[in-house]
Amino acid sequence: MASQDHIRNPIEWGWDQITLAALTVGSLGRSLGGSEDSQNAPLPAVCRIKVADLRDVLVKGLDDFGAYRTDVIFLCLIYPLVGISLAWLTFGNQTLPLLFPLASGFALVGPVAAVGLYEISRRREQGIPITWADAFGAISSPAFGAILVLGLALLAIFLLWLLAGNLIYDVTLGPEPPVSIASFARDVFTTRAGWAMIVAGVGIGFLFALLVLAISVVSFPLLLDRDVGVRTAVLTSISAVAANPGPMAVWGLIVAGGLVIGSIPAFLGLIFVMPVLGHATWHLYRKTVQPSTSQSVLASAPN
């Protein structure tokens, strides 16, 4: 065996870096496309659910939160910190009009922010001992590249929403920045331009929220659960929403309402709201997407 204890020259070092980069790109490409079997297989079958089923997923989400509340609360401290930081950034009059788009943007990036919670619910379902650190298990998942790309897509949608929010302000109350917080609030609620901004903001924001709901409501849990690619995960999510328009619309309202309630007391409520919604989303995935053949066999096997 050749000795490897010599000092590598720049050519050897450069070749090793190129090789490592190629392996990384190859791994990312595989995670984006999923396994060969999943690429050639039909989309996972989706089930029809009822609005009443949402109560069950919320109860299960509360149960997961109760089982690991100490670890999850520690993990979810980041949500109010991010919210407070965003609010602080808008204290200047120049960025004050972006306060609502930033606050409501939690609903757009929430699915990727809750990936760690999906992982905790997945492990609990399998009876695996869990600590808060296991929420980062998605990083070592074969689907991490796909999760990352889909998360970047949601971030891009969030940035587009901010641009849209800024444009709405410019054509209604703008383009000059507000003189003060008090005058801005007065203009928003007591002028026709302010009412027009509210109507346009809510209407366009609804379209952004609908887009994110359609492409992500079950896609992130599916990526964690099975070796599928981004395309399969997104199309399955869209199929699940199309098959259950009523329950999914109600679920979207529950998520939006929960995030609003959690954001009111200085975003501190998100410490409790986010984990419950995150765990519940995993159970919504379980109700909505039929298990694969291998999962069905494992579930029916005797202990």
Beta bridge partners of 34: 228
Q: Which residues contact 224 (CB under 8 A, 6 or more apart)?
A: 115, 118, 119, 122, 138, 141, 143, 147
pTM of the model: 0.77
Count of beta carbons in the 10 Å neighbourhood of residue 32: 16
Residue-level pLDDT at 143: 77
Q: Count of alpha carbons within 13 Å of 36, Cβ hemisphere only?
A: 0
Read off the tokens for 90. 């808008």
- What's the pLDDT at 196? 94
User: What is the C-alpha to C-alpha distance for residues 148 and 122, in angstroms, rounded to an integer?
Assistant: 19
Rg of the Cα trace of the chain? 22
| 112, 150 Cβ separation under 8 angstroms | yes
Taking the C-alpha atoms of residue 245 and residue 285, their distance in angstroms, rounded to an integer, is 15
Q: Give the chain's residues under pLDDT 50.
A: 1-10, 13, 17-18, 20-25, 27, 296-303
Model pLDDT, residue 237? 95
Spatial distance between the Cα atoms of 240 and 218, rounded to a whole number of angstroms: 8
Give the pLDDT confidence of 173-221 residue by residue, as tens digits. 988 888 887 888 899 999 999 999 999 999 999 999 999 999 999 999 9
Instruction: Write down the pLDDT at residue 218.
Output: 93
The closest of 258, 249, 221 to 104, measured between CA atoms, is: 258
Q: Which two tokens stand for residue 27?
A: 């791994």
Cα 252 → chain centroid: 13
What are the tens digits of pLDDT across the range 212-228? 999 999 999 999 888 88
Q: Which residue(s) pair with 289 in the sheet?
A: 46
Distance CA 90, CA 69 (A): 32
Q: Are 281 and 121 in contact (CB under 8 A)?
A: no
Tell me the C-alpha distance between 93 and 89, whole Å. 10
